[in-house]
């Protein structure tokens, strides 16, 4: 049976590096590999579009470096879509909503990131931040309630969305999925040499450096441990994170933005992936680390409560308990070999192909 033609709208895409970008790109690649068509509409940046990628005019977003605000345009090439899939609710999400109404096609929305999470980046003080967050939540609820179905990447996030939308809006759990052909155990000696990393145990994180992710807690938790702390990635919190590290006696290394080809090497080089962020809707980087054989010490909050299988693929600690975070890191270090075996045994369960199987079922249902 022919796969439905999909028009995906996203306010963030290549060359911006984040979980939404990689999810949209990987789902599109897998959909096309199966013989389907999944066009992507996104803000124009430095990315050279491939066939089926349609950039629209955009402006820099003044409150968040690297993010661009796309004009809510609908390219003619997507006017024959069977399903419209909005991965973000902002200007291009609204364009997707308009296209779905125009074509009388079902609108599916992915819930990747709570819109209120961006409040601190546009607010000048706590009062304004609270007002922005409240407005964002009301807008988010309105947008999701206008869809045929909402996709959430974890059961914990799905529960949150179900409490937000009306009873007539179904919510389906579909993991973003990991490209297990790419994220796999690999040799790490070359990576260590390139980045000047020592031979001892490494505790680290890679991903967006956002203030809401509580990355300072990694430094605090690792004080007194005989480890090197490694940060990959970039973001608005990096400057303050480096300043905090400079005031400690921790051996902390900031690698900055890494080419995607280096990520499996980073994950495999780490003895523990440290993940203190309480705001994740899935925490895909934790699963990528697992698929490279690296267990996770993560906060028992948000989606990480489910993404990290306590005692099997890593260990949890209670939100705000930095001493507990230190103990989780120590325990994960002590049991790394056993935990790594469990991580590798579960690779197929978290694969992107498994996720796209479920996505196809969802599209069939809304059609």
- Per the domain annotation, does 37 fall within a domain? yes
Q: Are residues 13 and 157 in the same domain?
A: yes
Residues 123-142 as b or e (16 or more Cβ within 10 Å = b) = beeeeebeebbeebeeebbe
Which whole number is the average pLDDT over 195-199? Answer: 96
What local confidence, expressed as pLDDT, does residue 303 receive? Answer: 93
Q: SS3 of 186, please?
A: coil
Its domain, for residue 53, covers 6-177+351-366
- Per the domain annotation, does 1 fall within a domain? no
For the residues of 52-90, what is the DSSP string, one character each? TEEEE-EEE-TTSTT-EEE-----GGGTT-SEEEES-SS
Strand order in the sheet with 107-110: 53-56, 38-43, 6-9, 83-86, 107-110, 149-152, 171-173
Does pLDDT of 63 surpass 70? Answer: no
- Per the domain annotation, does 240 fall within a domain? yes
Q: Are residues 111 and 10 in the same domain?
A: yes
- Per the domain annotation, does 182 fall within a domain? no
What local confidence, expressed as pLDDT, does residue 133 receive? Answer: 79
Q: Are residues 202 and 339 in the same domain?
A: yes
What local confidence, expressed as pLDDT, does residue 114 receive? Answer: 81
Does pLDDT of 124 surpass 60? Answer: no
What local confidence, expressed as pLDDT, does residue 61 receive? Answer: 76
Does pLDDT of 121 surpass 60? Answer: no
What local confidence, expressed as pLDDT, does residue 119 receive? Answer: 54
Q: Are residues 266 and 172 in the same domain?
A: no
Q: Are residues 47 and 119 in the same domain?
A: yes
Q: Are residues 219 and 342 in the same domain?
A: yes
Does pLDDT of 116 surpass 90? Answer: no
- Nearest CA to 356 among 89, 83, 23, 7? 23
Q: Are residues 289 and 251 in the same domain?
A: yes
Q: Are residues 193 and 310 in the same domain?
A: yes
**Segment 140-175, tens digit of pLDDT:** 999 999 999 999 999 999 999 999 999 999 999 999
Q: What is the domain-level CATH number for residue 213?
A: 3.40.50.2000
- Per the domain annotation, does 199 fall within a domain? yes
Q: Are residues 119 and 225 in the same domain?
A: no
What local confidence, expressed as pLDDT, does residue 103 receive? Answer: 98
Q: How confident is the model at residue 67 (pLDDT cuts 50, 70, 90)?
A: confident
**Segment 218-245, tens digit of pLDDT:** 999 999 999 999 999 999 999 999 999 9
Residue 232 main-chain phi, psi, to 5 deg: -110, 150
Q: Is 330 exposed, middle or buried (0-12, 13-18, 19+ CB in 10 A)?
A: middle
- Nearest CA to 264 among 200, 333, 179? 179
- Per the domain annotation, does 324 fall within a domain? yes
Q: Are residues 194 and 343 in the same domain?
A: yes
What local confidence, expressed as pLDDT, does residue 218 receive? Answer: 98
Q: Are residues 271 and 163 in the same domain?
A: no
What does pLDDT average to over the chain? 93
What local confidence, expressed as pLDDT, does residue 136 receive? Answer: 86
Residue 56 main-chain phi, psi, to 5 deg: -120, 160
CB 83 within 8 A of CB 7: yes
Q: Are residues 201 and 239 in the same domain?
A: yes
Q: How confident is the model at residue 18 (pLDDT cuts 50, 70, 90)?
A: confident
**Segment 344-353, tens digit of pLDDT:** 999 999 999 9
Which whole number is the average pLDDT over 54-81? Answer: 88
- Per the domain annotation, does 87 fall within a domain? yes
Does pLDDT of 126 surpass 70? Answer: no
- Total number of domains in the chain: 2
């Amino acid at each position: 049976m022919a796969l439905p033609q999909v028009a995906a709208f996203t306010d963030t895409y290549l060359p911006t590096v984040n979980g939404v970008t990689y999810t949209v790109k990987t789902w599109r690649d897998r959909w096309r590999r199966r013989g389907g068509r999944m066009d992507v509409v996104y803000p124009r940046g430095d990315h050279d579009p491939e066939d089926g990628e349609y950039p629209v005019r955009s402006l820099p977003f003044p409150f968040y470096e690297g993010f661009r605000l796309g004009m809510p345009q609908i390219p003619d090439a997507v006017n024959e879509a069977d399903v419209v899939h909005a991965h973000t609710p902002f200007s291009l999400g609204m364009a997707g909503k308009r296209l779905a109404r125009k074509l009388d096609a079902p609108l599916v929305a992915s819930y990747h990131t709570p819109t209120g999470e961006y409040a601190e980046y546009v607010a000048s003080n706590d009062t304004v931040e609270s007002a922005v967050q409240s407005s964002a939540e009301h807008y988010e609820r309105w947008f999701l309630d206008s869809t045929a179905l909402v996709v959430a990447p974890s059961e914990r996030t799905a529960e949150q969305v179900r409490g937000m939308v009306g009873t007539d809006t179904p919510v389906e759990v579909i993991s973003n999925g990991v490209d297990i052909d790419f994220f796999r155990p690999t040799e790490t000696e070359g990576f260590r040499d390139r980045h000047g990393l020592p031979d001892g145990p490494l505790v680290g994180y890679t991903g967006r450096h956002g203030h809401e992710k509580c990355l300072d807690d990694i430094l605090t938790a690792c004080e007194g441990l005989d480890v090197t702390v490694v940060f990959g990635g970039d973001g608005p919190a990096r400057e303050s994170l480096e300043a905090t590290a400079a005031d400690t006696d921790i051996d902390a290394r900031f690698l900055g933005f890494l080419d995607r080809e280096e990520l499996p090497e980073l994950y495999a080089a780490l003895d523990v992936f440290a993940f203190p962020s309480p705001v994740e809707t899935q925490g895909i980087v934790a699963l990528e680390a697992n698929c490279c054989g690296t267990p996770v010490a993560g906060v028992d909050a948000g989606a990480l409560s489910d993404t990290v299988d306590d005692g099997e693929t890593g260990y949890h600690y209670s939100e705000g308990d930095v001493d507990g975070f230190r103990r989780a890191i120590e325990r994960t270090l002590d049991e790394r070999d056993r935990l790594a075996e469990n991580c590798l045994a579960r690779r197929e369960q978290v694969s992107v192909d498994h996720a796209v199987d479920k996505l196809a079922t969802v599209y069939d249902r809304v059609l």
